[in-house]
Amino acid sequence: MSAGVGGLAGAGNRIITRGFDGRWDELEGMELPDAAAVLVRDNHEAARAVWAAATGDTEVLVASRTRVTPDLADDLRSAGLAIVDGEEVTAPSTERAATAGRVWLLTSGSTGRPKQVAHTLASLTTVAGDQPRRTWLCPYAQGAYAWWQVVTLSIAHPGQDVLFIEPDELDTWPARALEVGVTAASGTPTFWRQALYRDPESVAALPLEQVTLGGEPVDQAILTRLTEMFPKARVSWIYASSEAGATIAVHDGRAGFPEQWLGREADGRATLTVDDGELLIASPKRGEGIDRVLRTGDRVEVVDGRVLITGRIASDEINVGGAKASASAVRDVLQAHPAVAWASVRGRKAPIVGSIVTAEVVLSGDATDAELTAWCAARLPDYSVPRRVRFLDQIPIKETLKSDV
Amino acid sequence: MSALSRDAIRTMMAEVLQAQGKSMPTDDSANLEQIGFRSLDFSELALRVEDEIGEELNFDAPELRQIATVSDVLDFLEQLQAA
């Protein structure tokens, strides 16, 4: 048995997927090769693969079928994994002994083809100690780090039931969550923004005790909105990645984390430092083979004693005639406007100045292009004020629950 | 899509200025510095023209020259569309 820190103490927890409603240990068995990449069609199949791996000596990668391109499948086969796609099993192109208990994750692939990062159920199980009884909503893509966080929590701790949501249920999940009795929900800021934009009344009706955000920079506007909507809930944001693991958890309802946390060393906790505006993490929960001190590629800024994680360094900077505009700073200003439900900011190639700042916006109230420009002009240097604003009818959301990746 | 007329470009220039809280002078010989039309505004105007005609303007095509007045801006963008 390849159990996590809590073992399989959650075997009796209820999990609900489309097509299954029962306990982990009631899932139908799945025959897996010793080392397998399981391409899953839905969360039911994904849960079966997880349970088969957790109760066997299998090395496993679980990924949504839509994520694994033929090139990636070839990479996985040459890395020694058989490809399991429904009934079809394709042997690995490299023979090697399996490593029992290893769990592979794919990185988000924002900087090219997804890479594989090695974990174990134990390294993915980041929650320890007694947990209050909860029913979780898990809308994340199968096999993503955040998905594994909810899955390992449920496997390792009694009283942690899970309702899994498929990508095509993202518009309708609140009704299902209410019916099932969800009391804790985890999603990206884009996921929450979309939910509050589409159906705020149904979301507000949920008896949530825990609201968690992660996977994207978490800004104050969305934290405030959720805190006001769920005054009795703990609203937390988590910083996690396949490479670093879950390293930062903040529960005070505020964006960023306290500056005093920088440089702090403690057993079992990540050490956080900043170098040239980039967040560096030494994490005990990192994947195997990942640098002890990982350069995250995420930009941070210290404002009023809080360390704010603003966005990816590689995509954040917009050079406007030599002046450096920050896409994330502009996005945060737009998203703080009371009539803006969601915003995305990019540079666009332009004559004379090289690039100018442009924005896509989804409104939840009334605002004109001119009003948004004036709002930004009052809060940002002139080169950062979006010069072109495009209004969209709905919040774009990808299977990763993110907008930009 | 066909090229924009000088009048259409002038209207767009007025919109760019208006969005910045400034107004378009009636006289095309007005000096850009005096009316507060800066390089960022010029870039925005060029992108508005690009969006309208559905094509990217090739700024390398015409000879670079002094652009000091409203008329210079209109001439330049007219010429770019023809390039």
Encode chain A (405 residues) as per-residue pLDDT tens digits.
444 444 799 999 999 999 899 999 999 989 999 999 999 999 999 999 999 999 988 999 999 998 899 999 999 999 999 999 999 999 999 999 999 899 999 987 655 677 889 999 888 988 888 889 999 999 999 999 999 999 999 999 999 999 999 999 988 999 999 999 999 999 999 999 999 998 999 999 999 999 999 988 899 999 999 999 999 999 999 998 888 888 999 999 999 999 999 999 988 889 999 999 999 999 988 888 889 999 999 999 999 999 999 888 888 889 998 899 999 999 999 999 999 999 999 999 888 888 999 999 999 999 999 899 999 999 999 999 999 999 999 999 887 787 763
Q: Whole-number mean pLDDT of chain B? A: 88
Q: Where are the domains of chain A?
A: 14-120, 314-391
Q: What type of residue sits at position A251?
A: H
Set of chain A residues whose Cβ sits within 8 Å of the Cβ of B61: none
> What pLDDT digit, counting tens, does each position of A130-171 carry?
889 999 999 999 999 999 999 999 999 999 999 999 999 988
The answer to whether position B10 is within a domain reads: yes
How close is the nearest chain A Cα to the Cα of B49, in Å? 12
Q: A314-391: which CATH topology?
A: GMP Synthetase; Chain A, domain 3 (3.30.300)
Supply the range of the domain harboring residue B24.
6-82
Distance (Å) of CA A305 to CA A214, A259, A261, A302, B79: 21, 5, 10, 6, 53
Residues B13-37 have a mean pLDDT of 92
User: Would the CB atoms of B40 and A373 count as touching at under 8 Å?
Assistant: no
Q: Do A160 and A10 form a contact (C-beta atoms < 8 A)?
A: yes
Residues B32-43 have a mean pLDDT of 92
- Chain B residue whose CA is closest to A387: B44
State the total domains in chain B.
Answer: 1
Identify the pLDDT of residue A111.
57
Set of chain B residues whose Cβ sits within 8 Å of the Cβ of A350: 43-44, 46-47
Q: Do A376 and A347 form a contact (C-beta atoms < 8 A)?
A: no
Q: Which of A321, A369, A370 sits opposite B40 (nearest CB)?
A: A321
- Range from A6-10, A342-346, B29-33, B44-48 carrying the lowest mean pLDDT: A6-10
**CA neighbours closer than 13 Å in the CB half-sphere of residue A229:** 23
Q: Which of B19, B43, B57 sits opposite A353 (nearest CB)?
A: B43
> What pLDDT digit, counting tens, does each position of A160-218 carry?
999 999 999 988 999 999 999 999 999 999 999 999 998 999 999 999 999 999 988 89
Residues B2-23 have a mean pLDDT of 91
Residues B52-58 have a mean pLDDT of 86
The answer to whether position B1 is within a domain reads: no
Interface test with A, best of B44, B52, B73 (most A CBs within 10 A): B44
* B81 confidence band (pLDDT: 50, 70, 90): confident
Interface of B with A (CB under 8 A): 19, 39-40, 42-44, 46-48, 51, 57, 59
Identify the pLDDT of residue B64.
58
Q: Do A245 and A123 form a contact (C-beta atoms < 8 A)?
A: yes
Q: Is A390 at the interface with chain B, CB within 8 A?
A: no
What's the ipTM?
0.86
User: Which CATH number characterizes residue B16's domain?
Assistant: 1.10.1200.10
Identify the pLDDT of residue A110.
59
Set of chain A residues whose Cβ sits within 8 Å of the Cβ of B39: 321, 352-353
What's the pTM value of the predicted model, to 2 decimals? Answer: 0.84
SS3 A399: coil
Q: What are all long-range contacts of A398-402, with beta carbons under 8 Å and residues at least 24 apart?
A: A399/A64, A399/A66, A399/A67, A399/A141, A399/A167, A400/A108, A400/A141, A400/A144, A400/A188, A400/A215, A401/A139, A401/A140, A401/A141, A401/A187, A401/A188, A401/A190, A401/A191, A401/A215, A402/A108, A402/A188, A402/A190, A402/A215, A402/A216
Identify the pLDDT of residue A273.
96
